[in-house]
Structures are given as C-alpha cells and as structure tokens.
C-alpha cells in the first residue's frame, strides 16, 4: 500500500493524488501540518526527506521524494496501459522530462506567489508573478499550436501524460497568487480537458469542470 | 476609494484585532502585516517577546497574546478581547486553524461564514451534497449582549467533521460577536449533545483584503489536533476562490444592493446590524 505524506493545500501533493485517482490505485495519507505547524521541517520528517519538502511517498518501504520523480515512479509501476509514461518511446520520454522540469518552474513562480499572498511567505511576489506569466505564455502558445495540429495534450501523443498532471495544479491555483489566466485561452481549454479525464478529483481551490460540455 | 483608505470607525479602531498567529512569528525575522489600512511590523520585543509597531509613526500600539494569536488595537481599547468560554474547557483541543489571507473585505468573509446555502455547491461531498440543497427556516435575533444569533440551523452534511463516518443532519448555531468576529457552534459527531466551536477572527487588513484567523475548540474525543487543523484548511481553501471572486469586494449595506432570499435571513440581519453599529470600513454604505 502506498503511503502519501500529504498536505491538502499543496499542489505538488495534489498532483500525486490526481494521478493515483486516475490510475485507480489505492493509497493512504499521513497528513503533515505544513502550515502553520512547519512539520515538514521537523526532525521526524527530515529523516524521511532531508530537503524538508512535500510530497514523499512510501511504497512498501520504498521511500521517494519530489513530486515529479514520484509521478514517474507511479506511472511506470502502476499504469498497465503504459500511456502516462511510455517507457518504450524515447522521444516522448524526452518531451515529458522537458515539461516536468517546466512544471518545477511553475512551482518556483506561480506557487511561490500563492504562498506569498495567502500564507505570508516572504518572497519577491512581483518577480514570481512575472516569471509565471512568462511560463504561461510559453505553454499557452505551445498548446495553441498543438490544437491546430489536433493535439490536445502537452506532449506529442494522442493521450495525456504525466507532463499534463505535473503542470496542472499550480496553473489552476494561480489566481490565489494574483496571476489571472484570462490571457491564456489555450491553457484554459487544456485545463477543461484535463478535468474531464476519468478519475479526475479536485483539491480545495480547484473546482470540477462545468456540466455544460461534459462528455 | 482606494483600498488603503484609513479607517474612521471608532468601533473598529478601539477594538482588538488578531494580527498574527504566533506560529507564524520568528524571533529573528520581523513580520509585516496591515490592520485597518495601517502598516505594522511585529518585532521581537521586550515584554512577552512581541511589539507591534506602526510603520508610519514608529510607535508601538497596544498588543496582547491570547488563544495562540497576537492581538493589536490601533486606538484605545474600550473593551476586552472577545471571550471564548469553551477555551476554558479542558477536554477540548484549542488550536489555531492556520491564518489565510483573502483578497476580499473581511465583512464578506464573515457573511460567507454565516451562509449555509453555499455548502452543497462549494463544499460538495463535505458540508453539503445535492440534492440536499434546501436551507430550512431558522431563527435570527439580536441578543441582550448586542450579538447577532442564528439558531435552529440544520443542514445535511455528508462529512460534517473529520471524524464523521456517515452523513447526518447537523445542528448549527451562529453568533456574530463583533463586526469582524463570528463563531459557529456545531454538533460534535461523537458526543452529539455537545458542540464544537469555531471562532473566526477576521483581520481587516484594508477595505478589500483580510486575513481569516480561525480558532478551533474541538472536543478531544477521538480526534487529533492536527486533523482538526487540516480539516479547517480543507474547508476554508474551498471558500477562498469564491470569496476572492465576489464583486464588489466590499460588502454593500444598502438593502437594495443585492437581492436576498429567505435562506439569507442572517445575512440581512448582519448587514442591518453593521449599519446600526456605524461600521463602514470594508463596506459600501447604504444610500441615504
């Protein structure tokens, strides 16, 4: 059984819950009092992850940290169809790796702005917002050109991959950091498509897709 | 009006407001916040460790520590910090819920806290669920202590609390204690004759920004303090985007400004009660 060391309001924890739900696998959570308790900096947690960051999983004794790394592991191990992380397709794997790194950039900007605005983190919020807008512009153009070619997802495949899961949460939560998405129509359409994937679940601050265009 | 307009409501200036959860303060780094449009810096001080200093004048304002929070008063305190009697009961967890900044008037945050009608739509699967959307009639009154009290509130909740194992009809009592302070009394899922208490101390940062500081007094029976806290954050973070998208960001006090339905009775009373107490900060005053 997978144990997820979890904080409800963390987008990086949410992306793991989201993938596990879409894969239909079971897990249990250990809530970590990230805020205001800073339990991720406590002695017991630092033994689990010396970086003092969420999320961490423990899969029958195999402990892994870093949201993107855990997505790779879960998809490789628990997706029998092999579509979320197609291990046999080098180009696609390269693309996925590229966008997983991009997702880390979203965490470093959009998530930082959200922590500043909502939870009083002492970050340079203007720099964080500007950085997020730069990344959103790049992703929006990428998705828009993809749509012209009939591609619905971030990577060149006819199905979503863990790159989509990795980028989604902190984009959806961006307005809490003062980063509106109205200038990114292709991102908004992509978010709606992602919300209609079977097994989609919400977190606090993320709402389900409206019924109007439900498949 | 700029959202940094200064406050001229004596009822607010001479009252106590939470300015920080002590858990957010460190001895090394000053903590910056704002109260009623005034920028404040919280520093490690001589007395009890904390001073709250105005950035404009460099003067310290009145401050106290209570319930795990740091409190400040910009004027001359004309009454005590809100009393929470349940905080004296030894079989309760007393925990701060995690202060969260919200880009909306604090009066909007109080009003949302009083509203049962949004449960099935915003807290779907937790505090409400379709088709159980009807808000049954309830009572609202102004008490002798000049507090606003809503009683006989009942609502079906699938997961009313972190320890609820099944849905049940939950009894609620709401009390508006001060303009920016509201409490919720809710039946405990284990000891159904006793009530868990959530008091929401709302810090009016400026007219269009607030910080919600929840204070939780939950019966310890069968539940950890950490779970109480995480449940509060789960619920409040569902409200946050809804609150931040309310327009206008200040609360209109004119009875003709927004159209209430019967379920909004407590909100109608709240707005009238604010008018009667000459609260204008964070509000759009009624036309005269």
Question: pLDDT of A135-159, one tens digit each?
Answer: 999 999 999 999 999 999 999 999 9
* Model confidence pLDDT, tens digit, residues A67-112: 999 999 999 999 999 999 999 999 999 999 999 999 999 999 999 9
Domains and CATH numbers, chain B: 10-73 (2.20.25.680), 85-284 (3.90.380.10)
What gap in Å lies between CA B92 and CA A17, rounded to an integer? 32
Q: Where are the domains of chain A?
A: 2-78, 90-198
User: Which residues in chain A are closer than 8 Å to B240, comparing Cβ atoms?
Assistant: 118, 176, 204-205
Tell me which residue of B72, B77, B3 sits closest to B41, measured CA to CA. B72
Whether CATH 1.20.1260.10 fits A90-198: no
The percent of residues above 90 in pLDDT, for chain A, comes to 97
What is the rounded CA–CA span in Å between residue B125 and residue B145?
Answer: 36
Cβ of B229 within 8 Å of Cβ of A33? The answer is yes
| Tokens representing residue B151 in the block | 């009683």
Intervals of chain B under pLDDT 70:
1-4, 45-49
Contacts of A178 in chain B (CB under 8 A): 103
Q: How far is B6 from chain A (nearest CA, A)?
A: 22
Task: Please write the tens of the pLDDT for every residue from B58-79.
Answer: 999 999 999 999 999 999 999 9
Predicted confidence (pLDDT) at residue A215 exceeds the cutoff of 70:
no
Quick one: pLDDT at residue B92? 97
DSSP, residue by residue, B230-264: HHHHHHHHHHHHHHHT-SSSSEE-STTTS---GGG
Best A31, A172, A175 residue to mutate vs chain B (most B CBs within 10 Å): A31
Closest alpha carbon to B157 in B128, B187, B189, B192: B128
What's residue B2's pLDDT? 46
Options 3.30.428.10, 3.40.50.620, 3.20.10.10, 3.40.30.10; CATH for A2-78 is 3.40.30.10
* DSSP helix/strand/coil, B156: strand
Instruction: Encode pLDDT of B194-221 as tens digits.
Output: 999 999 999 999 999 999 999 999 999 9
Contacts of B222 (CB under 8 A, 6+ apart): B163, B190
B180 close to B204: Cβ distance less than 8 angstroms:
yes
Which residues are within 8 A (CB) of A151 and not within 5 positions of it... i.e. 6 or more apart?
A157, A158
B68 within 8 A of B95, measured Cβ to Cβ: yes
User: Would you say A107 and A170 are in contact if contact means Cβ atoms under 8 Å apart?
Assistant: yes
ipTM above 0.90, yes or no: yes
User: Do residues B250 and B208 make contact, with C-beta atoms less than 8 angstroms apart?
Assistant: yes
Residue B1: its pLDDT value, please?
41
Mean pLDDT of all residues belonging to chain A: 96
pTM score, whole prediction: 0.94
């Amino acid at each position: 059984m997978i144990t997820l060391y979890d904080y409800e309001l963390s987008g990086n924890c949410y992306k793991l819950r989201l993938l596990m739900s879409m894969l239909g696998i079971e897990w249990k959570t250990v809530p970590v009092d990230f805020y205001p308790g800073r339990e991720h900096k406590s002695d017991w947690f630092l033994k689990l992850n010396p970086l003092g960051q969420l999320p961490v999983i423990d899969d029958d004794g195999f402990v892994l940290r870093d949201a993107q790394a855990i997505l790779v592991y879960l998809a490789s191990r628990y997706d029998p169809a092999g579509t979320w992380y197609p291990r046999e397709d080098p180009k696609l794997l390269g693309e996925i790796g590229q966008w997983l790194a991009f997702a880390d950039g979203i965490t470093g900007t959009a998530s930082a702005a959200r922590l500043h605005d909502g939870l009083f983190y002492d970050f340079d919020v203007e720099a964080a917002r500007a950085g997020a807008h730069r990344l959103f512009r790049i992703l929006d153009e990428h998705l828009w050109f993809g749509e012209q070619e009939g591609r619905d997802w971030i990577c060149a495949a006819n199905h979503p991959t863990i790159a989509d899961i990795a980028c989604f949460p902190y984009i959806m939560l961006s307005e809490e950091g003062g980063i509106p998405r109205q200038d990114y129509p292709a991102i908004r359409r992509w978010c709606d498509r992602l919300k209609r994937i079977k097994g989609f679940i919400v977190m606090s601050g993320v709402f389900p897709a409206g019924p109007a265009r439900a498949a | 009006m700029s959202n940094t307009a200064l406050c001229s409501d004596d009822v607010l200036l001479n009252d106590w407001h939470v300015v920080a959860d002590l858990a957010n303060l460190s001895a090394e780094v000053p903590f910056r916040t704002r109260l009623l449009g005034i920028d404040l810096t919280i520093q490690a001080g001589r007395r009890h460790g904390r001073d709250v200093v105005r950035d404009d004048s460099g003067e310290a304002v009145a401050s106290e520590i209570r319930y795990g929070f740091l409190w400040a008063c910009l004027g001359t305190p004309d009454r005590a910090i809100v009393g929470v009697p349940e905080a004296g009961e030894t079989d309760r967890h007393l925990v701060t819920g995690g202060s969260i900044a919200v880009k909306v008037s604090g009066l909007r945050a109080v009003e949302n806290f009083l509203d049962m009608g949004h449960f099935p739509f915003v807290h779907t699967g937790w505090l409400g669920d379709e088709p159980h959307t009807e808000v049954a009639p309830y009572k609202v009154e102004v008490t002798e202590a000049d507090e606003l009290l809503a009683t006989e509130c009942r609502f079906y909740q699938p997961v009313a609390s972190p320890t609820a194992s099944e849905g049940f009809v939950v009894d609620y009592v709401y009390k508006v204690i001060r303009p920016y302070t509201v409490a919720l009394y809710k039946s405990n899922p284990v000891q159904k004759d006793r009530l868990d208490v959530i008091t929401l101390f709302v810090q009016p940062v400026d007219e269009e920004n607030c910080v919600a500081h929840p204070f939780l007094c939950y019966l310890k029976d069968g539940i950890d303090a950490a779970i109480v806290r995480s449940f509060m954050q789960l619920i409040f973070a569902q409200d946050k985007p809804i609150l931040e998208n309310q327009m206008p960001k200040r609360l209109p006090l004119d009875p003709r400004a927004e159209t209430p339905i019967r379920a909004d009775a407590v909100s109608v009373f709240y707005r009238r009660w604010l008018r009667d107490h000459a609260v204008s900060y964070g509000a759009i005053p009624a036309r005269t």
